[in-house]
């Protein structure tokens, strides 16, 4: 086909990846650009951070995924500017021109303007950051035990800020590590003083889920020994001490920030197309109204619909289905056919808080406990891309289920040579 249209997809998260796969061997020449060379399965980052899964099991190289897609090429680069009037983008690899541009750049951790907290806290939005948390926590254990003076030791408090699904799941995983694994790794050591602390600004954990899930998640966390503090905000952190809005101070060298996200914007889009929460305003076809050939999908897109007048939730299912719908619409544009509006069908939400502890909210029912835990595992396993990785994850989970242990506690951190001295 002559005069093939050039499509650039900025970002290979759930939305960008789904769009690219649906346009496999289509009449588009596709360029996928991402700062990472792999797709990252973010819902399981907490299992990398808590030494239950290796990062390779939930990370999928783009070049491997698209080996059999002759119409797609990949560049490891970052988009620095959009020149919409020229149908061009500037990147760290040069300038590229497009017929259609899809922004699927996702979000990054929101520190709400506090640069000091941003510099000192750990975040978990990439595979590398999840691995950094694992290394820091394991290094901390090595420096805690044995220790002569443990009073107010900042390594004895692992603090997680934000009690959404990420924070709750991470707190539960670390609590199980304290109970089931550390006594085996450090025989004779006393772990009584090691605290897993979860901070939340609202009145409940899992505040966006049902009343039953809020209460149940709190119950599960307390059963696991997690210290949960609600209706508190972090006002400062200097790397050793975290300060709350009630003036309480908590010594900690391991503070993980899971308190929110903000859109990963690219320079060049008019401010009138951007919401206060740093998302691109799109119509029902995921197109930016001020631009005829620029689209946005996933977490970065804000689409108002009758069912969601404030925009869709920033979850994987929205991104995946917007990617599918946009793929169909882009094909329709080529063939002069009508476009299909997008609407989100809420399939529910879920979170797991340790072995046999989970909560699931479906549109028609809610349940918790053992069955919810198995549903959570099954659905996440099915979303993993390759059969090989599904098998690897299943084996790791089965081994952990039977032994309450894993063999993945490796400290591999070449980028931080002096960490052991700084802890």
- pLDDT tens-digit readout, 97-114: 999 999 999 999 988 888
Residues 6+ apart with CB under 8 A from 187: none
State how far the Cα of 83 lies from the Cα of 158, in Å rounded to an integer: 44
Residue 370: inside a domain: no
Query: Whole domain around residue 83: which residue ranges?
Result: 5-35+77-109+262-335
State how far the Cα of 335 lies from the Cα of 87, in Å rounded to an integer: 21
Do 144 and 162 lie in one domain? The reply is: yes
Q: Convert the pLDDT of each residue in 370-391 to its tens digit.
A: 999 999 999 999 999 888 899 9
DSSP-assigned beta bridge partners for residue 282: 303
Do 120 and 246 lie in one domain? The reply is: yes
Do 253 and 280 lie in one domain? The reply is: no
What pTM was estimated for this model as a whole? 0.91
Q: What is the dihedral of CA 119, 300, 64, 330, to 10 degrees?
A: -160
Which is more confidently placed, 163 or 402? 163
Q: Which of 335, 351, 375 is the last residue of a domain?
A: 335
Give the angle subtended at the CA of 164 by the CAs of 158 and 168, to the nearest 5°: 45
Do 119 and 255 lie in one domain? The reply is: yes
User: Is residue 387 a contact partner of residue 397, using CB atoms and an 8 Å limit?
Assistant: no
State how far the Cα of 204 lies from the Cα of 306, in Å rounded to an integer: 28
Q: In CATH, what number is assigned to the domain containing residue 132?
A: 3.50.50.100
Task: Count structural domains, the chain.
Answer: 2
Q: Convert the pLDDT of each residue in 161-199 to its tens digit.
A: 999 999 999 999 999 999 999 989 888 888 888 999 999
State how far the Cα of 360 lies from the Cα of 375, in Å rounded to an integer: 8
Residue 305: inside a domain: yes
State how far the Cα of 116 lies from the Cα of 101, in Å rounded to an integer: 35
> What's the whole-number mean pLDDT along residues 278-287?
97
Do 151 and 99 lie in one domain? The reply is: no
Do 180 and 151 lie in one domain? The reply is: yes
Residue 243: inside a domain: yes
Do 135 and 239 lie in one domain? The reply is: yes
Residue 296: inside a domain: yes
- Per-residue pLDDT band at 115 (split at 50, 70, 90): confident
353 DSSP 8-state letter: -
Q: Convert the pLDDT of each residue in 50-94 to its tens digit.
A: 999 999 999 999 999 999 999 999 999 999 999 999 999 999 999
């Amino acid at each position: 086909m002559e005069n093939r249209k050039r499509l650039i997809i900025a970002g290979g998260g759930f939305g960008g990846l789904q769009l690219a796969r649906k346009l496999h061997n289509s009449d588009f020449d596709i360029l996928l650009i991402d700062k990472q060379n792999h797709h990252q399965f973010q819902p399981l980052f907490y299992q990398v951070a808590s030494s239950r899964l290796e990062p390779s099991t939930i990370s999928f190289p783009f070049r491997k995924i698209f080996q059999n897609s002759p119409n797609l090429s990949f560049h490891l680069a970052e988009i620095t500017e959009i020149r919409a009037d020229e149908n061009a983008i500037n990147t760290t690899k040069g300038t590229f021109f497009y017929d259609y541009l899809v922004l699927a750049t996702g979000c990054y951790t929101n520190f709400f303007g506090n640069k000091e907290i941003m510099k000192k806290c750990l975040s978990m939005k990439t595979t590398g950051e999840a691995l950094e948390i694992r290394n820091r926590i394991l290094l901390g254990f090595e420096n805690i035990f044995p220790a002569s003076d443990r009073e107010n030791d900042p390594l004895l408090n692992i603090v997680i800020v934000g009690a959404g699904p990420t924070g709750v799941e991470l707190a539960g995983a670390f609590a199980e590590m304290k109970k089931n694994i550390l006594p085996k790794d450090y025989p004779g050591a006393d772990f009584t003083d090691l605290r897993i602390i979860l901070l939340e600004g609202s009145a409940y954990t899992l505040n966006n889920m049902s009343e039953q899930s809020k209460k149940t998640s709190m119950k599960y966390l307390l059963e696991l020994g997690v210290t949960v503090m609600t209706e508190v905000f972090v006002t400062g952190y200097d790397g050793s001490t975290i300060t709350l809005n009630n003036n309480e101070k908590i010594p900690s060298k391991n503070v993980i920030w899971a308190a929110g996200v903000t859109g990963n914007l690219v320079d060049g889009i008019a401010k009138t197309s951007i919401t206060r929460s740093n998302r691109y305003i799109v119509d029902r076809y995921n197109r930016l109204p001020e631009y005829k050939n620029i689209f946005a999908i996933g977490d970065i897109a804000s689409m108002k619909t009758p069912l969601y007048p404030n925009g869709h939730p920033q979850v994987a299912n929205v991104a995946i289905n917007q990617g599918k719908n946009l793929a169909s619409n882009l094909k329709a544009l080529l063939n002069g056919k009508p476009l299909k509006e997008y609407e989100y069908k809420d399939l529910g939400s879920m979170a797991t808080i340790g072995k046999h502890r989970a909560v699931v909210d479906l549109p028609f029912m809610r349940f918790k406990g053992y069955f919810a835990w198995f549903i959570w595992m099954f659905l996440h396993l099915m979303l993993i891309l390759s059969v090989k990785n599904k098998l690897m994850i299943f084996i790791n989970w089965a081994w952990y289920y039977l032994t309450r242990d894993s063999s993945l506690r490796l400290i591999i951190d070449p980028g931080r040579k002096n960490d052991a001295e700084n802890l």
